[in-house]
Structure 1
């Protein structure tokens, strides 16, 4: 990827330097430039589920057209995986001939939509100059953030810069349709396990109300909002989008329009696991030990992961996650008593204390939703965890009751 970036940048800068000999995107006057937002539909791979977009700049005289986008990342970058885990992802701006980019998405079955923007010549020229400056190797790299600084927010910001802030002013005044969590769950619903992991890991930041400017971190939302944006011109206010063209229809499964409601599925899963634990404790002690061990290990691993995301990374969307109350590393302290139950032995005093702490933490997580300032929408995970922890407490305490009775 970096090699391609250098070549494209060199070609564009060379074209700019040789403008008397070659007219094209790099040196065409603003009156000859046509600017469009090109939006690509979601793909099948998990990192493609949010879609993609680019700014197309076309010289109407020569016919030369380039797509500028901010969605390039390099797996071979030194420390990429470690930076990814720490929340310090480096992305790059890239550019390529429009036909090459669009043909790739068309072959992949993803929709391609072009919205031609009604920009004044000076606005089109200023945008082109900014994109060429941004394409330089020393300017192309940026620190990626899923929600506030990604490939679409960069496109949005570049357009707003050319429009003198008009776009931000209008979109900030409009309410958004969904939260970060809802949009994430909606678009990731085709991969349920990944969707559940992301939902578990998102903290209250993901549930804050959004305006249209913030929600335009998604290509489809930005495209939708631009379609209703108005800009001022010699003839007064007029639509920003002059016309729109569906270059290629979507041939892949379309994401749902609304996010799935996880409350009932997770509540039923938690209730089912709780019933299995209670029945296994009575009729199959070894099964109870195995099921209990599996749940406790998963709860501890999940809690450790949430704690690491909060304290050791810059994934601010995962900070202050209330799911640490039902899922935390303290669950590991119950493992010995779970195995003692296989032989009908009572839980230890330490296990009694841990169980009490866990039930109090669970109650606190529920009571948080009664506070007026509570933002995080983690009800599905509370509905899953409550019956399971109650079943664990009943099962482990029943061993003590049986021993006392004997």
Structure 2
């Protein structure tokens, strides 16, 4: 998918033109599906319309963006960035994805001349500079859903979908994570940033936010009253050669966070043994959890990203910790701070409950840190309660 892709900048250099698609007797229109790549940016694949005849061979796709926009980064963060429809020479597009060792598949659409003409007119109109921009949504308006929505518009909704045999009811989070390795930094970041709104079960139609699912659903679809298959022919242009190289376990989130978790537990053990407290450690923990919590809160309330709402990662990354931060540097704290530590433990328990009953899925790599925080908070409660009673 193109939400996170930088590929658009490269593709824009391949082939820039102002020509419009032309209809001839031998015109074929296909849906091209690009497989996942090695980088997080490429993990979900891509789709586009291919228009091929004696005069041109072009891929029209959705999901590019203008890096020269003066408000690019601000709008991207707010979820208000306009994405663009673009067009590129097919040969250049295929060469680029083959160089990335990404599978390329093509489904030739079973359209008559009138339907082809309507689709080409739609693409030509959409390609006009004043019409190219649209407000992107990761789940409901992206490079994949555009294939479905454009075809349905052109064909007046006359497409009947059959659920693929491989279909299995899953949540949006699971559908995303199926394209990622669970012990990767990309997977961790997505599980932290996206809220419980993506933990509801997706309907079959919703599955088409992923490019590969567009391929699967189109392969089983038919056209209106005629019941003709939507896809006339399927071609595999290029097949990925071997699996992508996986990162080292020693640089993975689970390993790194396990080291940090064990370090927190070890320091806590030493502190308890010596009846002291490492204030610097508590300062770091409260600062980091507060900063992460504030960031998640902003994603929820200060942006238009629909997938970041109702994020229960705030149960362990509590923004209020920024207010309580100054208390961790005192030897004897206010009574309310002890109560706040107890609240933090309760929230960690609530997070576990939310995880167990399926309210929200959390990153497995966080477990070592969550365990370490739990025991650190218990120790601080014991220590501060003991000091306050003296």
Instruction: Name the TM-score class by shorter chain.
Output: 0.7 to 0.9
> What's the offset of the Cα at 1:139?
0.6
Q: Normalising by the residue count of structure 2, what TM-score does the alignment of the two structures yield?
A: 0.83
Measure the CA separation in 2 of the matches of 1:332 and 1:284: 28
Measure the CA separation in 2 of the matches of 1:128 and 1:332: 56
> What's the offset of the Cα at 1:196?
0.7
Q: What is the alpha-carbon root mean square deviation over aligned residues?
A: 3.6
Counterpart in 2 of 1:357? 343
Counterpart in 2 of 1:70? 62
Counterpart in 2 of 1:259? none
Counterpart in 2 of 1:10? 18
Measure the CA separation in 2 of the matches of 1:2 and 1:126: 30
Matched, 1:48 2:42: yes
Counterpart in 1 of 2:249? none
Q: Which runs of 5+ in 1 are unaligned?
A: 13-24, 257-261
Measure the CA separation in 2 of the matches of 1:307 and 1:151: 28
396, 399, 403: which one aligns with 2:380: 396
Deviations 1:311-351 (A, max 9, x none): 110011011112212211222344444434xxxx3443232
Deviations 1:278-301 (A, max 9, x none): 313224788843433332222111
2:222/2:229 contact within 8 Å kept: yes
Q: Give the paired residue count.
A: 376
Counterpart in 2 of 1:118? 110
> What's the offset of the Cα at 1:100?
1.9
> What's the offset of the Cα at 1:241?
1.8
Q: Which has the larger radius of gyration?
A: 1
Counterpart in 2 of 1:239? 229
293, 307, 322: which one aligns with 1:317: 307
198, 209, 220: which one aligns with 2:190: 198
158, 168, 173: which one aligns with 2:150: 158
CA 1:288–1:187: 2 relative to 1, 3 Å:
farther
Q: Which moved more, 1:72-81 or 1:163-172?
A: 163-172
Q: Which runs of 5+ in 2 are unaligned?
A: 1-8, 247-251
CA 1:360–1:129: 2 relative to 1, 3 Å:
same
279, 285, 303: which one aligns with 1:289: 279
Measure the CA separation in 2 of the matches of 1:293 and 1:306: 20
Q: Normalising by the residue count of structure 1, what TM-score does the alignment of the two structures yield?
A: 0.80
Counterpart in 2 of 1:329? 319
Q: Which structure features the higher share of helix residues? A: 1
1:176/1:209 contact within 8 Å kept: no
Q: Equivalences for 1:180-329 in 2 at 5 Å? A: 180-189=172-181, 192-232=184-224, 236-251=226-241, 253=243, 272=262, 275-283=265-273, 288-329=278-319
CA 1:143–1:171: 2 relative to 1, 3 Å:
farther
Deviations 1:219-243 (A, max 9, x none): 111112211212247xx43322222
2:227 match: secondary structure: strand
